[in-house]
Structure formats: C-alpha cells, structure tokens
C-alpha cells in the first residue's frame, strides 16, 4: 500500500546521507525535528549559486543581476510554500529565532502599558521568550495559554479565558516540536481576531509534515526554518503585506525601505536562500501531479497530502510499538483514531532510565534520536519533565517501517 502512494526507496536515493552505515548496519535518522537530512538537488543549487552567481545585490553587472533574480525566485518559492499570494510578504533571515527576536522588538514599539500578549505552554522557547522579553521592555502584561496535560494539546478554553479587548498579539505554534500536537490555527485566528488582536504562528515543526496556508488560516505573521524541511539553515518570516509595510523595522539607513528587504538586515546568505527554494522544489517534486501542467503551489499541497498519508503509517506503527513497552511512558496524543491531530514526532520516557542514557543507547546502536527538552522548555515545564527531559523520535517521509521496527525492538531490549 505504501509503495502505491509513496515510493520511499526512490525518495531515499535522493539523500546521500541516508546511505550511511554504522557497524555494518544502516544508520536510522530519527533526529529530523532538530534538522532534516538534505537531498542532493538542494546542495547542488547552493553550490551552483556560490560557483557561478556570487555577488552582492543591486549592481549593474551580470552576476549581481543574477543574484537579484535568484532572490526574487526564492521569495516566490516560499510564497508558494506558505500559500501567500504576494512574494514581498516573505523575509529571509539567519534562523527563526533571530527573525522572531528582531520582529518582536519592532512590533513591541506599537504596544502600550496595559496591553496584553499571550504565549503558550506548547511552544518552543523561540516563540515564547522573545515575546516575554519584548513585553517586559514595553511594560506589557504576558499570559500563558495552558495545555491539556492528559494529551499535551493546546487548551482552547485557556485561550478563551485569556483573550480580552486589551490583547494585542497571540504567539502560538502550529505543531509542537516535542510531542507533535497540532493546533487548530484557523480557529485560533478567528478567536484572536474577534478581539482585534494579531496572531503570530510558529510553523517550524509543521513545515515538513503538512501544507501551510497563511491565507486560509488567516494568520497575521508566520515563521519557519528551511533546515527543518530538507533545506539549509535559513529562517523565513511571513507577514501581511500591509503590516510589514506599516510596522517600523530596526534597519540601517542605506538599506532599502521597501518590502521585503526592509525586514532583511545585512547581507543575506544568497546561496542558502537559493537552497531553500530548491528544498521547496524538492517538496513539490514529491507530488504525483504533472510538473508542466500544474503550478508549484498545487503540487506542494498534493505532495504534502501524500507525505501526511505515508507518515501517518509510520507514526501509527511507532506509537503502537512504544505503547506495547511496559516501561515506556509516551507523552501527547496516542489514540490511533487521533493520529491526524499530531505530527509524527513522539517523546517518551523509560521508567528507571535517564533520557540521556536512552538516547546514548539508541545512538550506540545507530539510531539518531534527541533527548532533553529540545528547547520546548515551556512544554517540558508544564509536563513536569524537567530536568531529565524526554527522548524524541521524529519521523520524516524518508524513514521506513523497517527503521521503526528496529528502533522499537532496540527499546524493547532495554
């Protein structure tokens, strides 16, 4: 059934790193939530840019014009990934954290004492602390939306309780990088907008698993990071064009004040931005729709639906395997009928074992997995798993059922 819908072996052939063996056995990459592996086509695009189009922008000569074109193409590619009609609504930066720190400073200039912002316990610290710091500097109140502890999902009643007329911004993730829980972004946007507030979405963890749609979700701002979706280390910020124009960024005087570059401080990493566009083309290539007759956005949406179907099978097997281990305690959604409400990312603990030791055991046996809190500190604090943290297994569409089975077998033997 898998091969009918998704040819994982062909996909794997595009990732040279997946050929790696340790002690004669193929390595198993379940560390994707901390950064995915990269297909050759992405690396080739980066190399090509550096070898043939290496110049700074806006010059009156060939290589500079080519870089301008590469950048314009990359803005368009990201707009297709996010479902944004206007490529000038997309800014690039070093990573999501830096973009969020920078953007939170700029928007906080518009807040005043008495205002309120909301962050969430489900989030990575990169969508939590920048807002807390900006609010502190602006003298604004911060409240934290809670989680439902039984399944580590966002508590929508808590959101309703905290929203009021003074709320200016809500920062929330689209998917937890620790336990995989998805959030109903479109529904959150509706509730947030009913109070005249704005919604800032962290889509870093969601991006390799589902289609993002900023128009349909009606979110005001969204961030993601290309190294989490098979690209290089580049951060991405989307904002409604009218807001990206009206807000005042921290920028240097000679730098243009036009969109989108007013939000892109300093000389950009042109080669890796070209690589981010290549990663988006890679995702589109997973679609079964004909390239010549279908536009890239449509192919991305189709590709992500295929990725979701395939990953759902992986996560179902992984959850089933983990739940059958008496010593394993799995966090987040575990019921088989609810797997579509989660990304294929699982965190668990083993009774009587430290998370670092479990990760070490897996690593020694060729399974790459993270331990600790993966910077999802708001969540691990809410779940009470600090300081030991958890062990995280993150499936990507390049993983296989055999890899899941071997990982579960290893954990059973612990």
Ligand X SMILES: Cc1ncc(COP(=O)(O)O)c(C=O)c1O
Q: Least distance to ligand X from the beta carbon of 18, Å?
A: 21
CA-to-CA distance for 41 and 49, rounded, in angstroms?
A: 12
Q: Least distance to ligand X from the beta carbon of 202, Å?
A: 5
Classified as helix, coil or strand, 389 is coil
Per DSSP (E only), the strands in 241-377 are 328-331, 345-350, 367-368, 370-372
Q: Least distance to ligand X from the beta carbon of 178, Å?
A: 8
CA-to-CA distance for 404 and 321, rounded, in angstroms?
A: 8
- Closer to ligand X by CB, 101 or 323: give it: 101
- Closer to ligand X by CB, 321 or 372: give it: 372
Helix, strand, coil percent content, the chain, rounded in steps of 5:
45, 15, 35
Classified as helix, coil or strand, 153 is strand
Please, which residues bridge with residue 202 across strands? 173, 223
Which string of x and - marks every residue 189-218 that binds ligand X (by CB under 6 A)? -------------x-xx-------------
Q: Least distance to ligand X from the beta carbon of 16, Å?
A: 23
- Closer to ligand X by CB, 198 or 202: give it: 202
CA-to-CA distance for 414 and 412, rounded, in angstroms?
A: 6
- Closer to ligand X by CB, 67 or 391: give it: 391
Q: Least distance to ligand X from the beta carbon of 293, Å?
A: 35
| 328-331 and 28-29 strand pairing | unpaired
Stretch that binds ligand X, among 38-46, 91-99, 213-221, 359-367 (CB under 6 A): 91-99
- Closer to ligand X by CB, 261 or 377: give it: 377
- Of the chain, the end-to-end C-alpha distance in Å amounts to 32
- Closer to ligand X by CB, 355 or 400: give it: 355
Classified as helix, coil or strand, 397 is coil
Taking only Cα atoms into account, the Rg of the chain, rounded to an integer number of angstroms, comes to 21
- Closer to ligand X by CB, 232 or 249: give it: 232
104 touching ligand X, by CB under 6 A: no
- Closer to ligand X by CB, 97 or 313: give it: 97
Among 36, 37, 89, 95, binds ligand X (CB under 6 A): 95
Among 173, 183, 313, 399, binds ligand X (CB under 6 A): 173
Stretch that binds ligand X, among 61-69, 92-100, 129-137, 183-191 (CB under 6 A): 92-100
What's the CA angle centered on 345, arms 342 and 349, to 5 degrees? 115
Classified as helix, coil or strand, 120 is strand
CA-to-CA distance for 358 and 394, rounded, in angstroms?
A: 15
- Closer to ligand X by CB, 361 or 375: give it: 375
**If binding means CB under 6 A, how many residues of this protein chain bind ligand X?**
14
- Closer to ligand X by CB, 92 or 348: give it: 92
Among 38, 96, 145, 279, binds ligand X (CB under 6 A): 96
The b-or-e profile of 318-354 (16+ CB within 10 A means b, else e) is bbebbeebeebebbbbbeeeebebbbbbbbbbbeeee
Per DSSP (E only), the strands in 271-389 are 328-331, 345-350, 367-368, 370-372
Which string of x and - marks every residue 350-379 that binds ligand X (by CB under 6 A)? -------------------------x----
CA-to-CA distance for 153 and 342, rounded, in angstroms?
A: 9
Which string of x and - marks every residue 115-144 that binds ligand X (by CB under 6 A)? ---------x-xx-----------------
Burial group, residue 57, by CB count within 10 angstroms (0-12, 13-18, 19+): middle
53 touching ligand X, by CB under 6 A: no
How far does CA 289 lie from the centroid of its chain?
25
Among 235, 332, 344, 389, binds ligand X (CB under 6 A): 235
Query: Cis bond leading into 195, ω under 30°?
Result: no
Among 97, 153, 373, 400, binds ligand X (CB under 6 A): 97
In sequence order, the 6+-apart residues with CB closer than 8 A to the CB of 75 are 87, 88, 90, 260
Chain positions 58 to 77 lying near ligand X, rule: CB under 6 A, are none
259 touching ligand X, by CB under 6 A: no
183 touching ligand X, by CB under 6 A: no
Q: What are the residues binding ligand X (CB under 6 A)?
A: 95-97, 124, 126-127, 173, 177, 202, 204-205, 225, 235, 375
């Amino acid at each position: 059934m898998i091969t009918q819908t998704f040819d994982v072996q062909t996909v794997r052939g595009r990732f040279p790193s997946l050929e790696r063996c340790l002690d004669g056995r193929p390595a198993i990459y379940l560390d994707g939530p901390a950064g995915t592996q990269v297909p050759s086509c992405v690396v080739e695009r980066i190399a090509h840019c550096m070898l043939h189009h290496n110049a700074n922008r806006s010059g009156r000569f060939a290589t500079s014009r080519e870089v301008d074109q590469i950048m314009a193409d990359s803005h368009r590619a990201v707009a297709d990934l996010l479902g944004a009609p206007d490529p000038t609504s997309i800014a690039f930066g070093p990573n999501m954290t830096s973009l969020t720190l920078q953007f939170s400073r700029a928007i906080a200039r518009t807040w005043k004492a008495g205002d309120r912002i909301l962050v969430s316990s489900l989030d990575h610290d990169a969508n939590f602390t920048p807002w807390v710091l900006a609010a502190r500097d602006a003298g604004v109140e911060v409240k934290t939306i809670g989680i439902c502890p039984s399944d580590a999902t966002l508590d929508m009643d808590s959101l309703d309780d905290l929203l009021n007329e003074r709320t200016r911004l809500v920062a929330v993730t689209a998917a937890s990088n620790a336990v995989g829980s998805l959030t109903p972004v479109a529904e959150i946007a509706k509730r947030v907008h009913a109070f005249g507030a704005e919604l800032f979405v962290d889509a870093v963890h969601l991006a390799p698993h589902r289609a993002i749609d900023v128009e349909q979700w009606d979110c005001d701002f969204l961030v993601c990071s290309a190294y989490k979706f098979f690209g290089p280390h580049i951060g991405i910020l989307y904002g409604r064009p009218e807001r990206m124009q009206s807000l005042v960024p921290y920028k240097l005087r000679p730098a243009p004040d036009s969109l989108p570059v007013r939000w892109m401080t300093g000389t950009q990493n042109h080669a890796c931005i070209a690589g981010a566009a290549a990663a988006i083309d890679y995702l589109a290539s997973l679609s079964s729709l004909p390239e010549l007759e279908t536009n890239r956005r449509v192919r991305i949406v189709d590709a992500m639906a295929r990725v979701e179907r395939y990953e759902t099978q992986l996560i179902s097997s992984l959850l089933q395997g983990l739940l059958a281990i008496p010593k394993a305690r799995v966090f987040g959604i575990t019921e088989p009928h609810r797997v579509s409400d989660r990304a294929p990312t699982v965190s668990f603990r083993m009774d009587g074992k430290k998370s670092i030791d479990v990760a070490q055991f897996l690593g020694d046996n060729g399974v790459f997995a993270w331990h600790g809190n993966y910077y999802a500190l708001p969540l691990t604090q809410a779940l009470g798993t600090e300081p030991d943290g958890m062990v995280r297994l993150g499936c990507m569409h390049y993983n296989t059922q055999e890899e899941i089975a071997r990982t579960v077998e290893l954990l059973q033997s612990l």
